[in-house]
Amino acid sequence: MKIATWNVNSVKVRLPRLLEWLKEFSPDVALLQEIKVVDEGFPSMEIQDMGYNLAVHGQKTYNGVAILSKHRLEDVSMGLPGGDGTDGQARYLEAFTGGVRVACIYLPNGNPAPGEKYDYKLAWMDRLVAHARDLLAWEEVVVLGGDYNVCPADEDVWNPVAFAADALCLPPTRNRFRQLLHLGYTDAVRVFHTGPLYSYWDYQGGAWEKDHGLRIDHLLLSPQATDRVTAAGVDRTPRGREKPSDHTPVWCDLEV
């Protein structure tokens, strides 16, 4: 079962890229972030025609997440628990599909740090850690995938010195990501690959051509999912195409 995450940076603009990638890569489950549309604006027809069921948690202009699955989507819930209903940003969507519980995460960027935005990021991460802990009690095959806006280690940054004070790399950010690992979640890509590996390249300054990237998109696996993972990686192909997203898909294969 192939599960992939991709920050598409506007599902409307990226629709041709998305459709060709779905056809070529044919993931069983696709977790999309930054769709930047309200639910009614989502290109449901085109995607359903390719054999996918949909769960959409949209928002006007910013954010927005969606889950695409070839399997039935059950137990769909919008929003990260613990927000007291005050979280107006569409950044979290969860569902059970094909025997796997999947979360689609668009974690706040947090820049500039320090500041209100960074405080929001850290608070959001604390809520994620708490929810991730709760999920473990069910002993399910869980995949927490998405744009984490976290570079877990220096090897995930093309220039660690330049990014040392960035919200994606600051110690409080990395500490919270590490809490997820300490709970028992596994960074799928790092099971199979060592060394520098990126999932995002800035549009500016020819970052893609110079391979000036960051690894900020992740698939975290519960112990039950880790037992079943057979492969994982980054699919760089979509980033090199016409009108690309600045992110590229990250995927894993589970034997379920």
Q: Which residues bind DNA (CB under 7 A)?
A: 7, 9-10, 12-14, 34, 36, 60-62, 108-109, 111-112, 117, 147, 149, 168, 200, 202-205, 214, 216, 243, 246-247
CB nearer DNA, residue 6 or residue 185 = 6
DSSP string, 5-47: EEE-S-HHHHHHHHHHHHHHH--SEEEEE---S-GGGS-HHHH
DSSP 99: T
CB nearer DNA, residue 98 or residue 152 = 152
How far apart are CB 110 and DNA at their closest, in Å?
Answer: 8
Report the C-alpha gap between 165 and 116 in whole angstroms.
16
CB nearer DNA, residue 12 or residue 72 = 12
How far apart are CB 175 and DNA at their closest, in Å?
Answer: 18
How far apart are CB 126 and DNA at their closest, in Å?
Answer: 18
CB nearer DNA, residue 45 or residue 137 = 45
How far apart are CB 18 and DNA at their closest, in Å?
Answer: 12
How far apart are CB 134 and DNA at their closest, in Å?
Answer: 26
Tokens for 143?
């995949």
| Burial class (CB within 10 angstroms; exposed 0-12, middle 13-18, buried 19+) of 68 | buried
CB nearer DNA, residue 30 or residue 73 = 30
CB proximity list for 191: less than 8 A, separation 6 or greater: 226, 229, 232
